[in-house]
């Protein structure tokens, strides 16, 4: 068996193991927290019999391990149970809300990358010069504004002044993909802005470091123009160190969508999560938390794969 295949398989096994652990901890967390879910759901007015009946219905009387295996078995088939407050399958609920959050996160990521890479490249060219200072300062300000404040300012500005956006209007991608995208654009922008600042700061530092590096000097001595050196050497090298940061940013973006969905009144996972907490809807809550955790694990897995793809040294190290 070739060592590349073996290394990839190891990585996949690690990924599966992490997912399993995540699922267990999600499940255990909701079982261990104090309070009887059945009692909380039914309220203090309900009689003991009613609570007991619900406990049986939810399978709360069985031992934790048994319940976990059952839950896992169901989850494996995509069945996370039935939401108590919506009375529909948790899986259906999540999959109807996922396009909003995922779409928004992806658009936000694209905006982050499209803006921060050129910005960092420009600043790293002449660090400490007025343009660098101005852009860095703008980055700090963006970083400091809380997303909800930014969202509200943007809504007011775009709806009232520009008149191009109606807050709270959402079209499903299956209905009209164009208006789906346009309804997500502004919220994505709100999530992206603070993250641009973060990614930019990191990229700028690593690009400055690389642009003073020895291999850049070699490339200059080979007569390459600054633009080609940037594209061929500096950007790919700073990609290696930024892949991890970008995956962190992306999982942060997913988390950040919670508030923005609320402000923009979008039917995403974040809002569903808030609802499930408010209504003590445990099957739904554990389903969403598991999904979010799974997405994060997938992101880190992808980040690892991508950095190995870019950097031959990581590929070699992995096989040692």
| Cβ contact 188:266 at 8 Å | no
Site for other proteins in 125-144 (CB under 8 A): none
**Residue 188 engages other proteins in binding (rule: CB under 8 A):** no
Asked whether position 223 contacts other proteins by CB under 8 A, the answer is yes
The Cα 297–Cα 316 span in angstroms is 23
Cβ of residue 313: shortest distance to other proteins, in angstroms? Answer: 5
β-bridge mates for residue 89, sequence order:
82
9 counts as binding other proteins under rule CB under 8 A: no
Candidates 10-18, 57-65, 77-85, 233-241: pick the segment binding other proteins (CB under 8 A): 233-241
Residues in contact with other proteins, shown as a per-residue x/- string from 275 to 314 under the rule CB under 8 A:
-----------------------------------xxxx-
Is 315 one of the binding residues for other proteins (CB under 8 A)?
Answer: yes
For the chain, what percentages of helix, strand and coil (3-state, to nearest 5) are there? Answer: 80, 0, 20
Helix axes 269-278, 235-264, angle to 10 degrees: 50
Q: At what angle do helices 90-125 and 282-310 cross, to 10 degrees?
A: 40
* 319 sits near other proteins (criterion: CB under 8 A): yes
The answer to whether 45 contacts other proteins (rule: CB under 8 A) is no
Q: Please, what is the minimum distance in Å from the beta carbon of residue 236 to other proteins?
A: 5
For residue 55, give the nearest of 31, 76, 78, 33 by alpha carbon. Answer: 31
Chain residues 54-113 in contact with other proteins, contact rule CB under 8 A: none
**Distance in Å, CB of 10 to other proteins, minimum:** 13
Written as six digits, the tokens of 16 are: 């599966």
**Which residue in 45, 222, 227, 278 binds other proteins (CB under 8 A)?**
222
Residues 99-137: b if buried by 16+ CB within 10 A, e if exposed: bbbebbbebbbebbbebbbebbbebbbeeeeeebeebbe
| 8 Å CB contact between 193 and 115 | no
Indicate which single residue of 205, 240, 302, 305 sits in contact with other proteins (rule: CB under 8 A).
240
C-alpha–C-alpha distance, residues 119 and 116, integer Å = 5
| Complex with other proteins: residue 207 or 273, whichever CB lies closer | 207
Backbone angles phi, psi at 311, to 5 degrees: -105, 110
Residue with smaller CB distance to other proteins, 176 or 225 = 225
Candidates 93-101, 223-231, 246-254, 266-274; binding stretch for other proteins (CB under 8 A): 223-231
Q: Is 177 one of the binding residues for other proteins (CB under 8 A)?
A: no
Neighbouring CB atoms inside 10 A of 24's CB total: 15
Which part of the chain contacts other proteins (CB under 8 A), choosing from 87-95, 214-222, 255-263, 278-286?
214-222
Give the interface segment with other proteins, choosing from 33-41, 53-61, 167-175, 224-232 (CB under 8 A). Answer: 224-232
Among 43, 110, 228, 277, binds other proteins (CB under 8 A): 228
**Angle, alpha carbons 27-70-46 (nearest 5°):** 70
Binding stretches for other proteins (CB under 8 A): 2-4, 212-215, 217-225, 228, 232-233, 236-237, 240, 310-313, 315-316, 319-320
């Amino acid at each position: 068996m070739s060592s590349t295949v073996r290394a990839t398989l190891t990585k996949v096994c690690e990924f599966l193991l992490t997912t399993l652990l995540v699922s267990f901890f999600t499940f255990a967390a909701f079982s261990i927290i104090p309070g009887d879910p059945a009692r909380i759901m039914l309220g203090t007015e309900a009689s003991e019999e009613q609570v007991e009946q619900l406990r049986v219905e939810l399978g709360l009387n069985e031992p934790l391990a048994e319940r976990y295996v059952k839950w896992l078995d169901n989850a494996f088939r995509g069945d996370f149970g039935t939401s108590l407050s919506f009375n529909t399958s948790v899986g259906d609920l999540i999959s109807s809300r996922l396009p909003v959050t995922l779409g928004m996160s992806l658009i936000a990521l694209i905006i982050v990358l499209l803006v921060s890479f050129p910005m960092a490249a420009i600043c790293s060219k002449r660090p400490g010069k007025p343009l660098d200072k101005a852009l860095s300062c703008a980055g700090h300000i963006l970083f400091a504004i809380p997303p909800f404040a930014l969202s509200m300012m943007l809504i007011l500005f775009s709806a009232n002044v520009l008149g191009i956006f109606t807050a709270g209007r959402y079209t499903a991608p299956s209905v009209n993909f164009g208006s789906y995208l346009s309804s997500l654009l502004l919220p994505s922008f709100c999530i992206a802005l603070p993250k641009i600042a973060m990614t930019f700061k990191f990229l700028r530092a690593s690009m400055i470091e690389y642009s003073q590096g020895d291999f850049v000097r070699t490339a200059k001595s080979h007569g390459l123009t600054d633009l080609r050196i940037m594209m061929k050497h500096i950007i790919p090298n700073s990609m290696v160190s930024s892949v991890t940061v970008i995956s962190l940013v992306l999982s942060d973006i997913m988390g950040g969508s919670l508030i923005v969905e609320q402000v923009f009144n979008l039917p995403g996972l974040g809002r569903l999560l808030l609802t499930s907490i408010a209504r003590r809807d445990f099957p739904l809550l554990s389903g969403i938390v598991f999904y979010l955790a799974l997405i994060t694990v997938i992101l880190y897995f992808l980040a690892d794969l991508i950095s190995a793809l870019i950097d031959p040294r990581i590929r070699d190290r992995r096989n040692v």
